[in-house]
Structure 1
């Protein structure tokens, strides 16, 4: 019998102007989604700011809690879930991620996709994602379907409301990682 295998999905709110605007519209407590392969969140990926100081320059990112965008926002609130997966599903996810890592420079942040979500119309471009679309896409390509909708319509709140995910932690990110 093999031991349980998990991936971790973190939803967060840094409290920036951009996230505050999104929250006003969505009325959801978290507006950013990230995918991690370990409970310490050391291998964590998403679509977001490439440079913590510039919210307009986005794309595929390996998130670094100690030195990246999160380090600039000490009061970031988060919720962390875990999802039990098979060895095969986890390997598929890692292979999908390798494609993103190898082609990192080709990926853009799908800002129009956010507008599409608000209108319940998927706006998809090749090599362009927003955070929750990216996490849903990686899960989908690995054979994990948490919802009956396109990744381009998945919001961070969809993860929060998924019965498949098990709550691990909710509170300040800095308290979780320290």
Structure 2
């Protein structure tokens, strides 16, 4: 296979209450999996919370790793080389799903199925690592040797160990990948009002974490 494009699997751990529930099922510190189509992690897709501060509204999402919600998240990034054809096949599959984004639901029962080693089918429903593995199933690339409905974030960590390009704070990776864009996005150019808005969002996030909302 002529490998000339890169696909990225991103594992994250936010330390929130809902993340702790998922951790109980997956037995992994980094318990959320996403698929990215660029090294800068600008195009990242997964199944998770649709609103950063509401874990109960979940489904197919495009993730924004620059959001303050991820400011203290740990992560691991894995890079896989694929052919241009395989890349486009996976990318177009995800974009097609995004065009009907509202039809897809978060498959919480599927996590129970992983725990019991029983496949629990639900139409148009996925959990995060299930989704990522299913995207690979649309191509000839299979990083984990098991059906997508049983794949956990830890399976990716084990199978892709040799492909790891980063492990540490997600915020550091994003700063390194984007340079000053992450530090100055809308702050130095918009004045103190935007600075106050960012500070307010950060305070709100910390308060909700203390209260167990996220």
**Quick one: structure 1 residues 91 and 164, their matched pair in 2 at CA, closer, same or farther if it must change by over 3 Å?**
farther
- Structure having the higher helix fraction is 2
Secondary structure of the corresponding residue to residue 61 of structure 1: strand
- Normalising by structure 1, we get a TM-score of 0.92
Per-residue deviation at 1:72?
1.5
* Residues 1-150 of structure 1: pairs in structure 2 closer than 5 A: 4-67=4-67, 71-150=68-147
CA contact (8 A) 2:66 2:174 kept: no
Per-residue deviation at 1:50?
0.4
Per-residue deviation at 1:91?
0.7
Matched residues in 1 for 2:145 and 2:3: separation? 29
Per-residue deviation at 1:96?
0.6
Matched residues in 1 for 2:8 and 2:39: separation? 7
Query: Could you say which residue in structure 1 is the equivalent of 2:165?
Result: 168
CA contact (8 A) 1:133 1:152 kept: yes
Look at both structures and tell me which one has the larger radius of gyration over its CA atoms.
2
Give me the CA root mean square deviation. Answer: 1.6
Matched length: 174
Per-residue deviation at 1:3?
7.1
Q: Which runs of 5+ in 2 are unaligned?
A: 176-214
Matched residues in 2 for 1:24 and 1:138: separation? 25
Matched residues in 1 for 2:34 and 2:25: separation? 21
Secondary structure of the corresponding residue to residue 110 of structure 2: helix
State the Cα deviation string for residues 48-86 of structure 1 (Å, max 9, x = none).
Answer: 00011110110000001123xxx2242100000001111
- Structure having the higher strand fraction is 1
Matched residues in 1 for 2:151 and 2:143: separation? 10
Q: Which runs of 5+ in 1 are unaligned?
A: none
Secondary structure of the corresponding residue to residue 159 of structure 2: coil
- Normalising by structure 2, we get a TM-score of 0.77
**Quick one: structure 1 residues 85 and 167, their matched pair in 2 at CA, closer, same or farther if it must change by over 3 Å?**
same
**Quick one: structure 1 residues 26 and 93, their matched pair in 2 at CA, closer, same or farther if it must change by over 3 Å?**
closer
Matched residues in 1 for 2:152 and 2:105: separation? 18
Per-residue deviation at 1:164?
7.4
Per-residue deviation at 1:118?
0.7
